[in-house]
Every structure is written in structure tokens, then in C-alpha cells.
Amino acid sequence: MFKWDVVDPAPGEAVAPHQRLSWGKTAGLGAQHVVAMFGATFVFPLVMGLDPNLAIMFSGICTILFLLICNNKVPSYLGTSASFVAGVAAIRAQGGDSADVTGAIMVSGIVLLLVGVLIHFLGAGMIHKILPPAVTGAVVMLIGFNLAPVVATIYWPQDQWVALLTAAFMVVAACLFPGFWSRIAVFLALIFGYLLSWLFDNVFGQITSVLPGSPDAVAHDRVSWSGVSAADWIGFPSGDLADGVSVVHGPSFSLTFILLVLPGVIALIAENTGHVKAVSEMTGQDLDPYMGRAIGADGFATALASAFGGSPTTTYAENIGVMGATKVYSTAAYYVAAAVAILLGLCPKFGAIVSATPGGVLGGITVVLYGMIGLIGAKIWVENGVDFGDPVNLVGLAGGIIAGIGGVTLEITDDFELSGIALGTILVIVFYHLVDRGRGRGQHRGADEVTKAL
């Protein structure tokens, strides 16, 4: 399982999961995957009131476990999941602490593990019936485009010109740079944006913009290393969280709180299924036999991390974008990324350096990456010949896509609601099968007739 065929592909030629480049180039690609996952993996624990360094460390551990369980067939990085953010906010609003949060998430991870085991033994056919290519493409599109508000409201406004120039550099690097350099366009864009921000600080002085967690615009340096100088070089995650619970802690269980986060499992099933489908389409390999393993592995990883106070995990859409840009699907690069993540979790100072990446730089990188993720959904449609002249595909998917991307919320009770990817996925599946079930394709009206009717 740990033997990869060493290849030296021509520009634009793909590298399969069982292949790898030289270890030097593989290390560079692994670093690029770390760059892609780092922002979200670091930010979401902060939003949920958990420790980011512990989350980074467990993301590396859980990625290795995922690769082992999937027999190195499914290239994936397990970063912090955003699917539980709303549920965690509800728990804290009702007086729950971090132990209640991790306990509820741990149960959700176990449920996801059981779903994966069920799929593994019953076969991926049940997934195909529920998620045909038309639906799968929509789900993958939701995963990518649902991230757009993160760029628009958090990163881009911090420094729009650095963001624009960084995005332009990344596009040029990915498409026009020769050979290996085009494969590490994300990493090069990070360095370019970092240097550009430092240059702007020295030429134009401070910038006035709204930083995360600050309601008003403030004057600040684009590159600030004050946190870097104060951080230690080596150390385990330690100390207390904002609510007084130890960073490393055991979970506490409450049925009320468990029910608040359990709907997040729906999103995780959709994310994992979409990820495996997307990777299958990108690599041209049949990964259906590993669908159950992938879902179960994510559930096990989430439960394991939560058992020590860590954050929930999911297969990361950001890294699909990196694979799409580089055409390198080697699982060897993910082992490198996982090892780097574990070291980052044990090195507060290096984590401080990466977390000091200017928001404008992240805005430029993510505006391209997130768009690429969404367009992989369109790629699935094209390559599977999904006919949007058929109103079952056109109308059946429309409502769910808009609900998911637009962040529409469906309030079930005062304490339970569905929104974003979870709600969008449910609507896509329900609406599609509502009109597709029991109807012959020859009975479907043409798109022009549907348009006139609307």
C-alpha cells in the first residue's frame, strides 16, 4: 500500500493516486495542500470555540487514518468541518460548554460511521439511486459555491487590491507557468501575496478595513507578526478555552444537544459522496467500492478527534480544487500534508506565521479555488451527459441549488433548523426524485415548454 510508481509526467498529464512525483516535488505539493486547507481548518474551530492548534494536529492524524481505511485509493484531506457550526452555536446559546459540543459531535461521528458501514456492505448502488450524476453534480456545486460568502464577506474586503492581484497571479501561474511551477500555483500565489502585502505596507502604509471579529473598520498593517514573536517553537496544545474548559478534554453527552448537531450528518454524507464522486470523475477510476469506507472513515475520524476535544472533520473541497489545478492525485502528497499538519499542531510559532497570512491574500486564493470546486460539479454534468433540456434536471435541481448557495434557512422548531449545504442537498434530492420517480423520459416536456409555463 505504501509503494507508489514514480513518474515524470509531461505538462498537463495527470498523476494517478498510486503514482507519485519525486519526493522533492511531492513535498511541495503536500505543502500546497496544507495551504489550501489551513485557513478553514484554523478558522472554524475558532468560530466553534475550540482550539485551532489541536484541530490542525488532528486533521493530520485523521487524514492518515482516512487514507489507510480507504487503502490509499481515495486522495483526500480531512480538515475541520463547517457543517456543525450552526448546531454548536445553538448549544452554546442554550448554556452548553465545549465538552457538550464535542460530546454531541462525537455521537454524530459515530452515526456517520454506521452509515458508512451500511453503505459498504449494501453496496454503493443505494447511493447511485439517491444521487445520480445530475444530483451529484449539483451537490458538488453546492459544496464549492456555498463557500463564496466566505470570500466576499471575510477575506476580500480586508484588502481588495491585494486579493485581485493575487487571484490574477494564481490564474496566470496555473495556466501559463511551465511544468511543475504551474502545479504549485496556489503555494506560489501565497508567497506572491505575502510579499505584495509587505511591499504595500512599506509603500502605502497601513490599510483601513474590517477585520474578522471587529464590527468597525480599523487601521492595521497587512502583515503583522506580533503573534509570531510571542508564540513558542514547540509545544502540545494546552491551556483553557474561552469557556474555561481545558483545550484537551473529554466529551459530555446530552440528548438535547445531540439532536441539535445531528442534522450535520446529512451534510457530511453529501460532502463525502460528492468528494468521492468528484475524485472518481477527475481520476477516471471507479471509486464506488470505497464509498462506504470513505464515509465511515470520516465518521470514525470525527468521533476520534472529538474524544480529545478536537474539531469535527470532513473531506475537504478546497483540496479538490488543488487537485483540479495540478492534476496530481497522488495519495503520497496527502501523507506529506498530514505530516506537516501534525508538526504545525506541535509548533505554535509556525502556526502563527501561517495564520498571519493577510486576509487579502486568502481572498485572492480562495476566490479561484472555491470557484474551481463548484465548476467540478458542472464538469460531472458535462461528462455524464446530463440533459438540461429535460425539465426533471432543469427544474428538479434549481430550487435546491439556490437554497444551498443562497443560505436559505428552514426553521423546523425553535432549536432546529436546516440551511446551506444540508438544506440545499435535501431539496435537490427530494425535488429531483419527486418529479423523476415513475415517469418515463419520453413523457418529460421540453425546456422551452417549461420556460413558457413558468
Quote the radius of gyration of the chain (alpha carbons, Å): 22
The predicted pLDDT at position 308 comes to: 94
Phi/psi of residue 264, nearest 5 degrees: -60, -25
Ordered by start, the domain boundaries in the chain are: 5-382, 387-438
Give residue 374's Cα distance to chain centre. Answer: 12
At residue 253's C-alpha, the angle toward residues 249 and 257, to 5°, is 110
Q: How many CA atoms, within 13 angstroms, populate the side-chain half-sphere of residue 398?
A: 13
pLDDT at 180: 57
Q: How many CB atoms lie within 10 A of CB 189?
A: 27
Q: Are 254 and 104 in contact (CB under 8 A)?
A: yes
**Burial class, 103, CB count within 10 angstroms (exposed 0-12 / middle 13-18 / buried 19+):** buried
Portion of the chain with pLDDT greater than 90, in percent? 18
Which residue reads 483601513 in cell numbers?
A: 208
Low-confidence ranges of the chain (pLDDT < 50): 440-454
pLDDT in tens, 82-93: 777 767 777 887
Q: What pLDDT sits at residue 186? A: 75
- pLDDT tens by residue, 213-266: 566 778 878 888 777 777 778 888 777 777 888 888 999 998 878 877 776 776
Cβ contacts of residue 235 below 8 Å, gap of 6+?
346, 347, 348
Helix, strand, coil in percent for the chain, rounding step 5:
65, 5, 30
Q: Kindly report the backbone phi and psi dihedral angles of residue 246, in degrees, each rounded to the nearest multiple of 5, phi listed first.
A: -60, 145
Which DSSP symbol is given to 444?
Answer: P
